[in-house]
Amino acid sequence: MLAVQRQQTILELVRLNGAVKVVDLVREFGVSDITIRRDLELLAERGLLAKVHGGATVIGTGSTDEPGFAVKSVRQENEKLVIARRAAGMVLPGTAVALSAGTTTWTLAHQLVNLPGLTVVTNSVRIADVFQHGGRPDQTVVLTGGVRTPSDALVGPVAVAAIRLLNVDVLFLGVHGMTTRAGFTTPNMMEAETDRALVEAASSLVVLADHTKWGTVGISTIARLSEADVVISDGGLPETARTALAEQAGELVIV
């Protein structure tokens, strides 16, 4: 195996598992300890992982750090748009859908504003505003209420109580991160509880997650990978992630 191929595989292992150990990589690739450490140093210098004592971890913020809506809205805009367009094609007129709070689901909302007879349940003021400004009189928007988070989700007991009274055909769920071990996660524990209520209220779960979400772990799990009926992601998703999602989720769609 060429060095560049080995380094790419190491990076995929980090994203898949959240972390790797030097001793395990030495055994995996049959090379020296020095070679693996050099690989990790090169990947760290390129900003692709964080080198730690005895191995490496996913680079990024902690499991409880929660970026605001404005920060997240400018990340991976093109990927979010193509994911949203694909998701919109799954929605039929006259159905009841739930959209969790998030920038990818907010992008999806813009693709659904002209769909007739739609009933939308959401815990996002921003998403509710998209439909309100769309102005279709035959659409119904149900806003859960609750306590507002830094990422503009409405969460907590008020939101959960409202959601538990409802039933929807499909939930489109945006997530902070996803891994094989932790599943679909969020950095906000109250938001996880609210999202779990949305999952329970829906007949079908569709997760919208661009490739950067793979390998990121929030403190609280919303759902396991196996609970998703469909996962929609983009072409940047690494092969190891595609394999894991294809095996565990109901269907993986790459756009």
> DSSP readout, 115-143?
-TT-EEEESBHHHHHHHHHH--TT-EEEE
pLDDT recorded at residue 136: 87
pLDDT by position in tens, the chain (length 255):
788 889 989 988 887 777 789 999 999 999 999 999 999 999 888 778 888 888 888 765 555 555 555 545 456 788 999 999 999 999 999 999 999 999 999 999 999 999 999 999 999 999 999 999 886 899 999 999 999 987 789 999 999 999 999 999 999 999 999 999 999 999 889 999 999 999 999 999 999 999 989 988 888 999 999 999 999 999 999 999 999 999 999 999 999
Torsion sign, CA atoms 74, 77, 81, 87: negative
pLDDT at 71: 46
Tokens 């990340």 map to which residue? 75
Residue with tokens 């907590």: 156
Instruction: Say what the pLDDT of residue 48 is.
Output: 81
- Containing 119, the helix (H) or strand (E) segment is strand 119-122
Give dist(CA 158, CA 143) in Å, integer: 11
- Measure the CA dihedral 99/100/106/110, to 10°: 0
Predicted confidence at residue 65, as pLDDT, reads: 52
Cβ atoms 60, 24 nearer than 8 A: no
- Tell me the pTM: 0.74
- Identify the residue whose tokens are 């996002």: 124
Which residues make Cβ contacts (< 8 Å) with residue 34, sequence separation at least 6? none
Give dist(CA 200, CA 85) in Å, integer: 25
**Beta-bridge mates of residue 168:** 202
